[in-house]
Structure 1
Amino acid sequence: MKKFFLLLIALWLFTRLECRADVKFVDFKKIDPSGQYVSQQHFLLANLVYYDHWSPDWVYDVSKDSLIGELKTCLTLFAPLKANVYETDLLLGEIAHYLYNLNQQSYYDTAEAYYLKAIAADESDCRGYWFLGYHYSQSDELKKGVSCFNKAVKLVNSATANEFWQEYAFAMYAVGMPSHCRYGLDHYLKGGGSSLMATMMDSTLKMKSVRADPDSSYSTNELWQPDRQGKKVTFLSRPLGIKFAADSNWEMQMNGFVKRLTAVAMQPPVVTSPKGANIGFSIALVMHVAGEGEKLTDFMASFMKMGGVRDAAFPFADKFPTGVSYTFQNKNLYSDRGGAHIHFIGIERSAPPYPGMSLEDQGEEMKGEPGKVNFYTPSIIRTRFPGRIFYLFLLDTCEDIHEVSWNTFKEVVNGMKLD
C-alpha cells in the first residue's frame, strides 16, 4: 500500500512525458488468440501516457474517471481468459497497477497478487520480477523492489533487455543505490537506449559524484557514514571501499585520512576468562591506498616489528582467496593472561568496474508523511579511491580469552564487504 508518494526532483517530471514499455512486452496474441478484445488492447497501449505513472495533480484533458472505468472494464474482460495464464496474469497486474496510479488504492494489492501469480507460474521469465519490482519501487516498498529487480537481472534476455535496464536504473536511483543505477544505465545506453529520463539520471549521477583524491586529506565525517540499526552500527566508507558492522556498545575511534592512510580502533566489552579475570582485547583496521610498486606484505611488515609467522592457510580464504595472514605469539608478553596471541590479516583490493556496488544492499529507508507528496534529492557521493587499497585487520588479544576474542574478530571480518 502506498503510504507516501516518493518523487525524485526533476526525474518525476520526465516520467510524465515518457511511457513505460512494460505492457508492450506482454504477448496479447497468447492472451486473446481470437482478437475479440483488440479494441481494449489498443486502448491500453494508446493511453499509457496518462496512467503508467502517478500524477500528484491531474493536468490532462482526458477525464480520470473515464480512464478508471475503461481500465476496470479491461480487467473484467481479460480476467476470465485462460489461453496463457502467465501472460494474462502479467497483463492483469499491469492494469491493476495503472488503476493504482490513478489513486485507486485498493488495486495495489490486486496488482501485487497478479504479479506473484505470474511468477509462480513461470519463475524463469524476468518479466514477473521486473514488473513487480517496478510496482514496489513506485510505493513505499522500496526494498522489496530492489529484491525483485535483483532476481530479474539474472533472467533478463535480449528481447526485453534495453527497456528493462532503464527501469532497473530508475528503481536503483529511487532507492538510493547510485552504483547500481550507473550499472543499469550503462547497459541501457550501450544497448542503444536514448531517453530524457536516462539523460537526466546520467547528468544527476555525474553532478552528485565527487572524486576522492588519495593525495588529499579527509575528515572522519567525509570518510564514514554510520548507520545504527538495533544493537548494531554499520560503518560505510565509499572512498575506502568498505562496509562493516560493530556492536553499538563497542568503543570506536575513527580517524581522518592523511598521507594515504587511516585507521579504526575498536574496543569490545571485556571478557571473563576461564580463570575468572576480566580481560579486554582490541580490533584495529588500517587502510592504505597503495602507491605504484607497493606490496601488501611490505605494508603488513611495518606493523609487525615484534615479528610474526605467516599462517600456512589464510583463515578467510573462502571469502577473500588472495589474503595474507600472520600470527604472533609470545608467552612473555601479557604473561599474566597466558601470553600474547595477535593476528594480522591483510587483504588487497583493486578498484572494481563499478565501485560501490558491493557495498549497496537493499537501498536506503526513505520515510515520508503518509498521504503526502515527499520530494527527495540524491546526496553527494564521494567515489572510491582509485587503484589498490590495502586492508590490515589486527586482533590484539591473549591466550586466556583467545577463543572468544577470535570468534568476535571472525564475525567482523566475515561480515564486512569490500569493493
Structure 2
Amino acid sequence: MRKAIILLLGVLISVNTFSNVNYIEISKISNESKFVTAFNYIKDNQQYFDHWTNEWSYDKSQKELVKNLRDNYAMFSSVETKNEELFMLLGDIAHYLYNLNESDYYQLAVNNYNSAIAINPNDYRAYWFLGFHYVLSNVPTLGIDNFLKAQQLLPTKQPVDFWEEYAWATAATNMPSHCIYAMDKVRSISGTPGRFESQLGPEIHKRIIDVNKDISYKKEDLWSTSKGEKIAFTCRPLGIKILVDSTWELSVYDYKNHQSAFVLSPPAIKSKKGKKINYTVAIIMKVANLTDELDDYINTLNPKCSNKNKIVFSDKYDKMVAYEIKDNEIYKEMGGGHIYMIGIERNSPMYPGLLLENPATFPDGNKGEVAYYTAKDNKGRFEGRIFYAIMLDSCEEINEQSLAIFKTLFNNQIIIE
C-alpha cells in the first residue's frame, strides 16, 4: 500500500490527527504496570508516529521509536484475554509502525481492527480507526466506507475528533460536500470552528464552483464519470448520479434552455416470439421556474394518448407523479407501445453533492517517492427546484422484462438529491 499520497488544495494538506489511541481504555486490557507504562509511552509520543513523514526532522530517533513500538506490539500480543480494546490497540500500534515505514505492519493493522469489529460490530471506534488507516494508505474507497459505517454508530454525545478526522479524510479523497458537512458538525458540537476548518475551510469551500442555471453548458463541463462495478455518470449541477452497465449504449445532451437529457439503450430483449426488441430509458432534467408545476411539466412530455393512467410507482421521493401509458398506434407489430413516465421534483438540499460524491482514487507513485496530486474543482448545484422526468419507452411484447429492468434502474442505479 502507498502512504505517500499528498494532496494539494491550494495549500498543502498536513495530517493533523487526533490519535485513536486516546479513545482506548487501557484498564480494559490490563492494569499491570508494564502494560500501563507501555500504553502511556505510546500516548506520550503519538505526535511522532500518528502520521507519515517524508523527511524525518524530529528530535527523537526514528529507529528507536520503531524498536519500542515493535517491542510494545509483541508485549501486548502476549495478553491472554483477547478483547475488542486490545485488538484496537494492536491495530493502532501496527498503524503507527506503518507510518514509520514498517510496511509489513499495514496488513496487521487491518487484521487487528477487523478482529475488534468482529467482537463488537456495533462499536464505531474500530471502523473509524480502520477508515483512517485506509485513507492514509491510499485505499480511499474502503477508508470512506468505514468512516460512513462509524458515522451510523456514533453515540449520542458525538466525539468532535471523529468529525475532525472525517473532514480531513473527505478532503483528502476529494469529497468537498462531505468535508463541509463534517466541519459543520464540529461547529455544532464545540460551538467554534475546528482545527481543520481554521486551517483549510476556505480552501474547501472554494473547491465548489458556482453555476448559473440561465446559461448553457457543454455536457463534458457538467458530467463526470468513474468506473466501478458499473460506470457512474455524475452531474452535480443537476443533482443526479446514474450507474450504467458497460453493455448499455447512451447519449448525453448539453444543458441549454434550463434542460438536459440522458438517454439509455440497454441490450435488446428477446420476446416470447423469439424476436429481439429494443427499448430506451430517457431521463430529462429541467431547472424549474418559480411558477412551474411538476404535473404540468410531465404532461407536456406525455404522448397524447387516451389510455393514460396515474399510478403509484414508488415512494422513493416525496414529490413524485407516475403514469402508465398504452398506445396501440405505435409499435403495432409488437403489440403496441407500453410506456411509463415518472416525474420527480427536488429542492436544493442543505449539502448539495453529499449523495453524489465518491472518494477519488489516486494512482500509486514510484516506490520511495512522494506523489503529489491536485484535488479537482467541483461544480455546485443549480439553484432552486429541479424536475426529473424518467421514461421507459417499450412495447407490449417485452413489457414485463423491460419494466423489471426499469424498476431496478430506478431503485438502485439512479440517485437524485
Name the SS for the 1:368 alignment partner: coil
* Matched residue count: 413
Alpha-carbon distance between aligned partners in 1 of 2:222 and 2:89, rounded to the nearest angstrom: 47
The alignment-based identity, stated in percent, is 33
Specify which of 185, 208, 230 is matched with residue 183 of structure 2.
185
1:359 aligns with: 356
Maintained 8 Å contact 1:4/1:370: no
SS of 1:386's partner is: coil
Residue 57 of structure 2 is matched in structure 1 by 59
CA separation in 1, counterparts of 2:210 and 2:40?
49
The equivalent position to 1:390 in structure 2, one of 387, 392, 396, is 387
2:39 — aligned with what?
41
Deviations 1:130-177 (A, max 9, x none): 111111111132222122111111222256510011111222222232
Deviations 1:164-212 (A, max 9, x none): 1111122222223222222222112322265543333422221111122
Residue 370 (structure 1) shift: 4.9
Cα distance in structure 1, aligned partners of 2:168 and 2:270: 51
Asked if residue 227 in structure 1 is aligned to residue 226 in structure 2, the reply is yes
* Distance change (3 Å), C-alpha of 1:169 and 1:116: same
SS of the aligned residue for 1:191 comes to helix
Partner of 2:86: 88
Bigger mean CA offset, 282-291 vs 320-329: 320-329
- The answer to whether 1:341 aligns with 2:332 is no
1:68-79 residue pairs with structure 2 within 5 A?
A: 68-79=66-77
After superposition, what is the alpha-carbon deviation per residue over 1:18-57, rounded to whole angstroms, capped at 9, x for unaligned? 4523211112233342544444333222222211101111
Describe the SS at the equivalent of 2:238: coil
1:98 Cα offset (Å)? 0.9
Q: 1:91 to 1:259 in 2, by over 3 A?
A: same
2:210 is aligned to 211
Residue correspondence of structure 1 range 112-131 to structure 2 within 5 A: 112-131=110-129
The C-alpha deviation readout for 1:225-270, integer Å capped at 9, x for no partner, is 133456x432111111111133334432211111211122333344
Q: Which residue is 1:295 aligned to? A: 293
Which 10-residue stretch deviates more, 57-66 or 184-193?
184-193
TM-score, structure 1 normalization: 0.90
User: 1:23/1:389 Cα in 2 relative to 1: closer, same or farther (>3 Å)?
Assistant: same
Q: Which AA in structure 2 matches 1:14? A: S
Q: How does 1:155-194 map to 2 (within 5 A)?
A: 155-157=153-155, 161-192=159-190, 194=193
Q: State which drifts further: 143-152 or 321-330.
A: 321-330
Residue 309 of structure 2 contacts residue 324 of structure 2 at CA under 8 Å; is this kept in 1? yes
Which amino acid in structure 1 is aligned with residue 94 of structure 2? A
Please give the alpha-carbon distance, in whole angstroms, between the structure 1 residues aligned to 2:270 and 2:43.
69
Structure 1 residues 272 and 93: alpha-carbon distance in aligned structure 2, compared to 1, 3 A threshold: closer
Per-residue displacement from partner, 1:6-27 (whole Å, max 9, x unpaired)? 2122676532xx4523211112
Change (3 A) 1:246 1:32: closer
* Counterpart-to-counterpart distance in 1, 2:77 and 2:205: 45
2:261 corresponds to which residue? 263
Q: Distance in 2 between matches of 1:246 and 1:122?
A: 36
Residues 64 and 102, structure 1, Cα contact 8 Å, conserved in 2 = yes
Check conservation: 1:308, 1:327, Cα contact below 8 A: no
Secondary structure, counterpart of 1:353 in structure 2: coil
Between 191-200 and 202-211, the greater mean CA deviation after superposition: 191-200
250 and 121 in structure 1: CA distance in 2 versus 1, 3 angstrom threshold: closer
Task: Give me the whole-angstrom Cα distance separating, in 2, the residues matched to 1:255 and 1:109.
Answer: 45
Residues 304 and 89 of structure 1: CA distance in aligned 2, closer, same or farther (over 3 Å): closer
Q: Which residue of 1 aligns with 2:327?
A: 330
Task: Give me the whole-angstrom Cα distance separating, in 1, the residues matched to 2:44 and 2:12.
Answer: 21
AA aligned opposite 1:55: T
Contact 2:8 2:375 in 1 (8 A): no
- Preserved contact between residue 4 and residue 369 of structure 1 (Cα < 8 Å): no
Unaligned 5+ segments in structure 2 are none
Shift of 1:391: 0.6
Cα distance in 2, alignment partners of residues 103 and 130 from structure 1: 22
